[in-house]
Structure 1
Amino acid sequence: MADPTPTALAVQLLAILGRDNDRLTRIDNYLHGKHDDPYMPAMADDEYRLLAKRAISNWTPLLVNTPAQALYVDGYRAGDDKGKGSATDLTSPQWEHWQRSRLDARQSAVYKGALTYGHSFTLTERVKGVVLTKGLSALRTAALYEDPANDDTPHAALTVTAWPVAEVAGTARMWDGRFEYAVRFKSLDDANGVKVVRGKRHGASECPVTRFAASVDLEGRTVGVIEPMIPLQNRINQTIFDLLLAQSYGSTKVRTVTGMAPPVQRDPETGEVVYDEQGNPIPLPINHNAKRFLFAEDPDVKFGSLDETPLAGFIESIDMSIRHLSAIAQVPPHAMLGQIANLSAEALQAAEISLSRMIQEFRTGFGEAWERVFRLAAELGSAAGVDDFTGEVIWRDMEQRSLAQSADALGKLREQLGIPAKGLWKRVPNVTQTELDEWDDLADEEDSVGQLASALTRATSDPEPVTADSVAVAA
């Protein structure tokens, strides 16, 4: 079967964007606090709607930011001819490409896009003679795979650069295994309005777009961390709305009085009761507030009160829902509730085990994607590493441990197991690859200076004179 034409590919890719648009837009709305309204009566007034607006408590950014803040690529270790990783070299072409693309700062947006929508993309291309990589939004980008569950190389990919407005057609860029195309379209579902113009060769042997997927099943479906949590987020919003209603209308004690008639207006001259046009007595205004009290002369008057609505149940329900959200999202409860008092280091570590496992899963998938990016950059830049499938990215250790504990543990590893000191440097908390290289250079300098000093000492030292005492001692 012949490959589909570029126009047919563009139609399919635009249709994918149209198919996923509602789902991804809903996820994007929840990320930015635009949630479904809590349930309220059909004839709810403006006060009800104001309380519903204030009931929105957006927890979804925390679900994205918590794992994303633990994902930080700090280096790249290229593979050697024997399939083993060589030492990290910050002057390698791969890492120079990383720094030139300013991915130290921009990598976070790629991770957050993948965690939010289930997937995000990067584009590696040559711009004015320089190979650069940039992120692409899942809201604007789609890719076609022959096997979406297992392939890391898309057959074709498209990203929208401008959406159609009124009579002005939208524009997009599309790539296949050899060429880049300029696409114009009237709408995502109008196949007849798609026009494709072939551009230049992009220079790579495969599509230069790389997918970063948070989770991919065997059907090729990608799922982020927000979409499964929407029902729980709605439950929290509903409970907070009910709490606000109870707090606004029923949280204060109501005082009651029976058998008491309000005072009425009387004619100042005759003392007779004054009536309105309907023949009803006109009551006098009563200045009653929290600083005043009522009393009655009639013994039949009874005073009472209506109890306030207790709010503790609503608060406990909110706390329970947040704990459910924490358990399902694999985010530690103390990170969401802020309850970290009297927790030992062991308890904190146990609470974060689930999060650490999830982060490790993300690192594995995202690391494979970055390795493909490095291979593409090497090919486009005519550098070594085009077929390097044994290289790996180095993730920064973001776990918070005290320096004293780490130093004690590393010292025991050095003394008891005989591990070389340089092999333990990477386990120092929050150390960067630049610092490791600097330490390596300083260690080499100290070693060379020490050897030179020893050689000079041996060359300039005079032998001890031979005496009778020394001979006797030797005998």
Structure 2
Amino acid sequence: MAALTPTALAVQLLAVLGRDKDRLNRIDDYLHGKHDDPYMPAMADDEYRLLAKRAISNWTPLLVNTPAQALYVDGYRAGDDKGKGSATDLTSPQWEHWQRSRLDARQSAVYKGALTYGHSFTLTEHAKGVVLTKGLSALRTAALYEDPANDDTPHAALTVVAWPSGESAGTARMWDGRFEYAVRFRSLDDADGVKVVKGKRHGASECPVTRFAASVDLEGRTVGVVEPMIPLQDRINQTIFDLLLAQSYGSTKVRTVTGMAPPVQRDPETGEVVYDEQGNPTPLPINHNAKRFLFAEDPDVKFGSLDETPLAGFIESIDMSIRHLSAIAQVPPHAMLGQIANLSAEALQAAEISLSRMIQEFRTGFGEAWERVFRLAAELGSAAGVDDFTGEVIWRDMEQRSLAQSADALGKLREQLGIPAKGLWKRVPNVTQTELDEWDDLADEEDSVGQLASALTRATSDPEPVTADSVAVAA
């Protein structure tokens, strides 16, 4: 990328935000239940519009939360001099930076932002005398890359601190490979209104903003899990709206009567018929309910009924649309429909294979991004690991398995394949890195105590009895 002035970079980055604003805001609206209205007649009354609001059934948070809840970094294994991963050390500078930045809790927001909009960002910087990493929203942040499909280091990045309001200009922060700049702007598309204050060094050798992308194609485009599902979400809303209409207006039988005039209102004093403004007799309301019978003295009167509208077809259509949504989004049907009765463990595992593969893809991409964050933190904090490209983050095993099944499987691996016991500890369900370190210390203590006990036993054991042969040999 040709060298650009800071002002030109700021103009380009603000233009990127302006270009993506409508698309990202629409995704954000769908995430929070602000969907397009179902189709309805142009002359629809207030009752129709009320049913349209009630027809919104927001499935998009489930599409984001299901994979996000399986993404949890539990440790970091630094690389050694031979290019291999060393044992996880919870006292390493990288993990201390993680804990100091409170990323145990804040990492989820980064993943959800990337899964929702296609990408999110983190900023690693000096703050209050220490190096911290925090998340940045895709709605406020843009980055420029020389090769957006393959580069993990942006040429420059900008995040909006405050949007323009009235006469007040908007403010933003911008970073390139060496400096941080303060930016003021009037609007996202007003190049003449952009002002950049002289920058200050941020301390890193490259832009300190890191992109977390859910999916990147060879054109550098990022796509989340919400945008492709919007048409299906609209289809579900439309079907539910049609169901509510049929339920409200046609789900009960309609009683009909022919050949009989309704009773009319009469003046209580004169007994004469009361007419309305149009000159028609004013009918009396008929008090009819399920406890009353209809009868007539005139034999020509005919009673009948109009059948109710069956609702089963609407319900089946909703169920089918949700299954389509489940298949395309790679979310197990039982997670969306709640139908888990009479499913074996093997059937549940087979249903979640597609989701597991998608989660593994996300872990690969997000893991590379975290490794860059750790390298940036090491550089800014003057710690080891600046050039550590062999380290890796440790993801928590979130698969649901019973402890008894896992213990049985691990025991067979130990006995039949001869795998060391310590090598199987990490496969214990829901074990944390802290527990693994504690187990390792306890195992070392038990081994030391065992060796000491064996030595004492040998030292205090009775000497071998004296025999004639031993005396002869001594002689």
Report the TM-score when normalising by structure 1: 0.96
Larger mean CA deviation between 263-272 and 318-327 belongs to: 263-272
1:460 CA displacement: 1.3
1:276 CA displacement: 6.2
Please tell me whether the aligned partners of residues 55 and 238 of structure 1 are also in contact (alpha carbons under 8 angstroms): yes
Question: Measured at CA, do residues 150 and 262 of structure 1 come closer, stay the same or move farther in structure 2, by a change above 3 Å?
Answer: same
2: distance between equivalents of 1:361 and 1:309? Answer: 46
Question: Measured at CA, do residues 347 and 379 of structure 1 come closer, stay the same or move farther in structure 2, by a change above 3 Å?
Answer: same
2: distance between equivalents of 1:126 and 1:140? Answer: 21
1: distance between equivalents of 2:68 and 2:277? Answer: 73
1:283 CA displacement: 3.6
1:297 CA displacement: 1.0
1:282 CA displacement: 4.4
CA offset digits 1:95-133 (Å, max 9, x no partner): 000000000000000000000000000000011221100
CA offset digits 1:69-111 (Å, max 9, x no partner): 0000001111111111100000000000000000000000000
Question: Measured at CA, do residues 332 and 275 of structure 1 come closer, stay the same or move farther in structure 2, by a change above 3 Å?
Answer: closer
CA offset digits 1:401-434 (Å, max 9, x no partner): 0000000000000000000000000000000000
CA offset digits 1:270-316 (Å, max 9, x no partner): 87766667664444443222322221111111111000000000000
Query: Which position in structure 1 is the counterpart of 2:212?
Result: 212
Question: Measured at CA, do residues 358 and 269 of structure 1 come closer, stay the same or move farther in structure 2, by a change above 3 Å?
Answer: closer
1: distance between equivalents of 2:267 and 2:53? Answer: 51
1: distance between equivalents of 2:427 and 2:295? Answer: 77
1:458 CA displacement: 1.1
Helix, strand or coil at the partner of 1:318 = helix
1: distance between equivalents of 2:470 and 2:427? Answer: 52
Please tell me whether the aligned partners of residues 330 and 355 of structure 1 are also in contact (alpha carbons under 8 angstroms): yes
Query: Which position in structure 2 is the counterpart of 1:53?
Result: 53
1: distance between equivalents of 2:107 and 2:353? Answer: 24
Larger mean CA deviation between 11-20 and 271-280 belongs to: 271-280
Larger mean CA deviation between 464-473 and 418-427 belongs to: 464-473
1:470 CA displacement: 12
Question: Measured at CA, do residues 264 and 128 of structure 1 come closer, stay the same or move farther in structure 2, by a change above 3 Å?
Answer: closer
1: distance between equivalents of 2:223 and 2:185? Answer: 28
Question: Measured at CA, do residues 155 and 273 of structure 1 come closer, stay the same or move farther in structure 2, by a change above 3 Å?
Answer: closer
Question: Measured at CA, do residues 380 and 299 of structure 1 come closer, stay the same or move farther in structure 2, by a change above 3 Å?
Answer: same
1:199 CA displacement: 2.8
Question: Measured at CA, do residues 293 and 455 of structure 1 come closer, stay the same or move farther in structure 2, by a change above 3 Å?
Answer: same
Runs of 4 or more, structure 1, over 3 Å off, are 264-285, 464-475
1:209 CA displacement: 0.3
CA offset digits 1:349-408 (Å, max 9, x no partner): 000000000000000000000000000001001111100101100000000000000000
Helix, strand or coil at the partner of 2:131 = strand
1:261 CA displacement: 1.6
Query: Which position in structure 2 is the counterpart of 1:106?
Result: 106
Q: Kindly report which structure 2 residues correspond to 1:263-274, keeping only aligned pairs within 5 A, or say none.
A: 263-265=263-265
Q: Which runs of 5+ in 1 are unaligned?
A: none
2: distance between equivalents of 1:46 and 1:444? Answer: 74
1:269 CA displacement: 8.3
2: distance between equivalents of 1:31 and 1:269? Answer: 66
1: distance between equivalents of 2:463 and 2:212? Answer: 70
Question: Measured at CA, do residues 474 and 180 of structure 1 come closer, stay the same or move farther in structure 2, by a change above 3 Å?
Answer: same
2: distance between equivalents of 1:396 and 1:102? Answer: 17
Larger mean CA deviation between 135-144 and 454-463 belongs to: 454-463
Question: Measured at CA, do residues 152 and 277 of structure 1 come closer, stay the same or move farther in structure 2, by a change above 3 Å?
Answer: closer
Query: Which position in structure 2 is the counterpart of 1:376?
Result: 376
1: distance between equivalents of 2:267 and 2:178? Answer: 101
1:463 CA displacement: 2.1
Helix, strand or coil at the partner of 1:198 = coil
Helix, strand or coil at the partner of 1:321 = helix
Q: Tell me, yes or no, if structure 1 residue 404 matches structure 2 residue 385.
A: no
Query: Which position in structure 1 is the counterpart of 2:283?
Result: 283
Question: Measured at CA, do residues 456 and 268 of structure 1 come closer, stay the same or move farther in structure 2, by a change above 3 Å?
Answer: closer
Please tell me whether the aligned partners of residues 179 and 198 of structure 1 are also in contact (alpha carbons under 8 angstroms): no
Question: Measured at CA, do residues 426 and 287 of structure 1 come closer, stay the same or move farther in structure 2, by a change above 3 Å?
Answer: same
Query: Which position in structure 2 is the counterpart of 1:180?
Result: 180
Query: Which position in structure 1 is the counterpart of 2:73?
Result: 73
1:54 CA displacement: 0.4
1:472 CA displacement: 16
Question: Measured at CA, do residues 239 and 280 of structure 1 come closer, stay the same or move farther in structure 2, by a change above 3 Å?
Answer: closer
1:345 CA displacement: 0.4
CA offset digits 1:192-213 (Å, max 9, x no partner): 0000012321110000000000
Question: Measured at CA, do residues 217 and 273 of structure 1 come closer, stay the same or move farther in structure 2, by a change above 3 Å?
Answer: closer
1:4 CA displacement: 0.3
Cα RMSD for the two superposed structures: 2.4
1: distance between equivalents of 2:369 and 2:281? Answer: 84
Question: Measured at CA, do residues 470 and 285 of structure 1 come closer, stay the same or move farther in structure 2, by a change above 3 Å?
Answer: farther
CA offset digits 1:226-282 (Å, max 9, x no partner): 000000000000000000000000000001111112234567788776666766444
Helix, strand or coil at the partner of 1:212 = strand
1: distance between equivalents of 2:322 and 2:83? Answer: 46
Identity score, percent: 96
2: distance between equivalents of 1:265 and 1:169? Answer: 70
